[in-house]
Structure 1
């Protein structure tokens, strides 16, 4: 079996795994791929087709027939990559609140995850990549030479999200925000599967810069130079 030249980062929503993944990929010259965008793109397709996100059979059928594309940025508007759905640029559409509310339900169906995991694995086996998600190290790419699980408490994630919203000029109900994050964790619990050999990092006690430096120190020497 070929060993993927990949680094996997798993963790709960809002843990900073996407920021870590993007920074790590940039430092190493790897491709950065947040698998969550695939589930968001599927959820957008489901909602646009008036499919009930809780209907696993219908959502899986939708996943089978749509074409989700992930490529380098095609527009200089702050995006990390361009996401297409059947050829249409949906990079920002998948961040809509309606998608945010439904993605855990749509993505939670076992048949749906089987379909998208196969696509994710194909991407991960192609070359040097930092792949971020919920179950990448445990299920999608268990052979990856370095697997990270980044955990951050609900309280700390609430604090960070609150600061972000206040910084944008939005009002914040911290109790409601805490409950929202806790509820998201509960919905995601059945797909949150840390790999048994993953390196666990507590993001509460380290800054993003310190976390990046630590993970870089774990990267096998052979992965630092690549074609």
Structure 2
């Protein structure tokens, strides 16, 4: 087996801290902490916590959309170490919360930075990470549902078929845009046991290419997803 090395000068966490105030998908269970032991009484501090499998910075598993899909614990360690690129679409999403990232966005990026390499995770920086502390603005819900940008069907089809990517990530609460009723991007990526990362942060601190992602998961047996500790190694 060939020896692989990660060379880096900086490591940046792309995960939000978890607390009961984070934005939650409508209908998802709350984030709750309960003290089990205290320093004063027990000599050590311990809490139990409860939250949904798709809350905070998290990764989706195929069984969240496919009845015969694998659970989150079935991803191998090798699956979770990937090169990544960052596509900045903030100029398109400002004032357009229902924006669907399309082929033109990918073509614009590749003109500047070269072709996306097979096996990469493509991260979309929409600017929504900056709304994280305002759950109302993060989802922008109204009578039609939630409003936030996501990856369009044509774009994800191109990335999978013609660039053989390993997966996608985004700083919104869904790789599918908020008004989607089909979740086409999730379906397309997870059909091949790919990586879907949502609610990322600090994408503004990453270069457009050259990053290596290391994704830490909870090995929840049969899990439809897991909160994720996503580390970006910057050369």
> Please, what TM-score do these two structures have when normalized by structure 1?
0.29
> Please, what TM-score do these two structures have when normalized by structure 2?
0.29
Bigger helix fraction? 1
Bigger strand fraction? 2
